[in-house]
Structure 1
Amino acid sequence: MKQFLYTLSAIAILVGLQSCLPTLTVTNYSICQNNTVPSGQGMVASTTLTSSINWYAAPTGGSVLYTGTVFNPVGVAGSGITNTGTSGTTTFYAIEQTSTSSRTAVTFTINPSPTASITSNTTVVCSSGANATLSANTGTGLTYQWKLNGSNVSGATNATYTTNVTGAYTCAVSNSTCGPIISNSITLTAGTPPTATATAAGATSFCPGGSVVLNANTGTGLTYQWQQNGSNISGATNAAYTASGTGSYTVIVTNVAGCNATSSAIAVSANGSFTVAIAYTGPVNVCAGNPVTLNSSVSSSAVTYQWNLNGIAVPGATDASFQCATSGNYTVTAHDASISCTVTSNPMVITVYPQPNSYVAYASPLSFCEGGAVVLTANTDPALTCQWLRDGYVIPGATGYYNVAEQTGYYSVIATDVHNCADTSDRVSINVFPLPQPTITRTANVFATASTFSNYQWLRNGAEIPGATQYSYTATSNGAFSVTVWDANNCTRTSDAIFINDLSANGAVAPSDQIIVYPNPTAKIVFIDAPQSSLNVYLCTMDGKLVCYWLATKEVDLTDVAAGNYVMTLLDQDNRVLKVEKLLKSDK
């Protein structure tokens, strides 16, 4: 029982002692970087006792840094914190002076402050056109408030701010623990807008396909943007613009400050639909002398025309149709007075090939006797083909560069080139005189022919009889007589021969029975057996026409003589008839 009482008394005493121990309460402190700790502020330690608080830099040992309930370590020797320029957390330790318990940790934190700086793309703004874009520095967790002349700009809480209002701009930048930090100041001033004018260099009313040049005012550093009906025209950024469509045209002029102005509008009108083209029939590649007829696609009493060759107006060519005979590029310019519109067609290429040069040349007379000829020569250009004509009709097969003309008529030649262009030469007149037709009549031993010929020459046995140059001749010996005559055109011909064998003058002898002609009939060779060493042999038809003759022979070859009955006359070297015999020439 005593023992229990003793134990209970000890517990009571222990509890009483614990309730008498001091209690230490601490409060951490934080401040933004580069700020000054206000007087009377810092880490705080309080106790239930009336004794002071000691502050240390370490949990054990070391020297007392400061004694008091509120401790600002900035600038305190041994604290390690000379100023608030460096962010970070430092732990200090507080303890009641009379206490023997452990020291209590307390933190002093310097929170990092944000930087605040701003830039601008320009310091000049315009009421129309150029705006300034102000930009603040960026970073994680930063917030912004833009200020104009020191006052907050409502809603301007982004890192950038765009404005065209003049004044001094700053930005208050804060992070999650510190701020706001006020940035540097940028002052925006008002720029002067440029002048914007637009003028037309020509008529602003024209037809489709036409245009007018619009010019803006010019100046150093100006830029341009043309608009049609209030919308930007892509790529139209020069001081001049060529307008070809109907609409209202303006130009926005901008100066180097970014200020702009818009010109007054110019109304451009394309009056209606009016186009012109060239129509034609047939080929456009033709030969000279075959003009091509070109027609305007527009035909109206209100339209006037002007045809052009290679861009140059053709004098007098003012109809809706035009015949062109020269190579080149043809256009037609049409003016429609009803809509004050002038348009020019696309060019039509016409090729006119030159005609070849066709002619007939000759080197001998064009008038000659029957049996003669003249060689007619055409243009020998190898690129040409020829066709000869007589009296306007094609001569079959006469397609060479020359033609041998043997008949009376008018001769010409058609020369054709690779383009099928043809030219017909002038006609050449050929006159072929017929040969005279002499015939001989015999009265006794007198031979005669017509007295209308110009000249005569009698022949005996094919040889000219000297002095026998009249239209008649009196024979004095036997033989084959013919006459050569010349007419007024100097055409000549020899008559058929008349054979005479009944003259006995000059000691003519009768045919000798001693003369034998064999074989008879014969197909080839005829042999003559006679006392004479050689004979003259004449072969005539049964009606007296001379076929052929042989001189000083006793053997004749009839191979080339047609089959039939003939008269063979044998004469001596004085041409005295020795024998006349009928001869049959056979085929075999």
Structure 2
Amino acid sequence: MKNKLTYYAGVLCLIFSFTTANAQLLPCILHPVGEVTIEPSGPTEFCEGDSVTLCAFPEGPGFTYTWKDIITGETLSTEQCLTVYESGDYYVRVFNEFGCHSECTPTTVTVNPNPVCSIEGPTSFCVGDEVILTAPAGYTYLWSTGETTQSITVTEGGTYSVTITNEFECSATCSVDVTAYEIPVVTIEADGPTEFCEGDSVTLCAFPEGPGYTYTWKDIITGETLSNEQCLTVYESGNYYVRVFNEFGCHSECTPIVVTVYPNPVCSIEADGPTEFCEGGSVTLTAPAGYSYLWSTGETTQSIIASEAGTYSVTITSGFGCSSTCSIEVTTTPGPEAYITPGDTTICKGRKVILIANAGVGYTYQWYKNDVLIPGATNNYYKTQQPGVYTVEVTSADGCSAISAGSTVTVILPPTLSLNTPDGLDLCPDGEVLLEIVTEAGATFQWYFNGSPIPGATGNTYTATEVGEYTALVTNSAGCSTRCKGITVVNSCRLGNSAEGNSSLEIYPNPAEGMVKLSIVLDESARVILEFMNMEGQILHEEIMQDVHTFTKEFDLSSYPKGVYFLTITTDLQKITKKIVLQ
């Protein structure tokens, strides 16, 4: 029927003509679809990611299906079955071959959301460390390790997964790869001994080495960072360790290495006196006690004696083998020359020799005999008549001194002699007296009469023919002389006859020191000539006295030099001479 809409309602059909706009209610035949049902293939409440298949019934040839979302009215499928993945109210309209259709009660499908799974925490660490992996809060958990806590502690590398389940029993699984990096095995190598002396050093190098490694050196006591280089040069005592990092930031430390730096000894040289002194002097140089020693002189004692100018150094070494060297300058000043003129000298006993030292500006002197200081002998000359070895110490203006070589003074004894008068000492007119000297062989002689040499009288004997004093100078082969004691030849004979007179001349005291007393006794009164003479026969005092028979007189001879003198009294008949010794 053209241009008609037909609605089936019960057994009557309302036919409406769009052309004529007329409607007729006529009996009709019904072809019902039957009861429409939806059968799900599983639960209609499930988790996101699952699905349920809804199948419409009845089924068979001639049926067609229209699936719709009840909310949007959107046609979802025209198949008998609809696979549903999302929440919603789903219904289906089933048509038979007659075009009749029927619908069923909508089926509600609920899709519960899956939890969002994630794992928080570091994904790498160093062997020996650990990391904590944490899943989202609010769920139940099952880790691949079997643990059921929100967080787990991981100490090994690997893949770690967790399944989290929400209140809808929906689960999600996630995983993370955790890497455990190996830590470096650290060693320290020293380029030399770790015990050494102050001023030396040792270089410590850390291993392993290579790209990606970094280093941190520290002092274990202070914790101070000393260097970030692979090697550290150490100059001081301490406990040193290094932390080595690889490219992953993993680090390790080694056992600290102990460096011991021994102090060097403090070197000094002490002098026991001035280090500037005169040639011939010396000074003792001493190093500190408690060490071993090596001086620049080669000596190995604590102290040495320095007697020459120069630089003296010593190296002292402690028990740790640490050494220190110091030095001291020693200066010497040249001393003066010292010598004696003449050198070795021989003199005769009783004579003196003058020893003269060399002269110099500002020089002072001290004489010694047989190495014994002579008090007061401080001139540049010294007179002596004593035998011995004489030296002189000459000191210059700067205080330096020198001692001369010894000058030996030898004293030769004069010859010993005796004077014989075989004929006696009385000489009568026209008579003679023999004088004889006995002494050592080789001697020479010179006779004197009243102090004057007798020409040609050079033998050991002499015949006296005149009244007076006779002496002789005897010289031995060494040139030393002795004057024999004077002897007086007197005339005891009276003039004109040979009778022996009884006149006398006495002098006392004799020897004398000044005052002497004369006593003259003559045979008869006579004119007397009194003469006082020296050894040379020079008349020093003369008196003439008349009519003398006995005579006593004092003479003061203290004004005359010490020595031998003669006193003579002469009368017309005789001449008497006496020797006087003044002390």
TM-score, normalised by the number of residues in structure 2: 0.42
Q: Which has the higher strand share?
A: 2
Q: Which has the larger radius of gyration?
A: 2
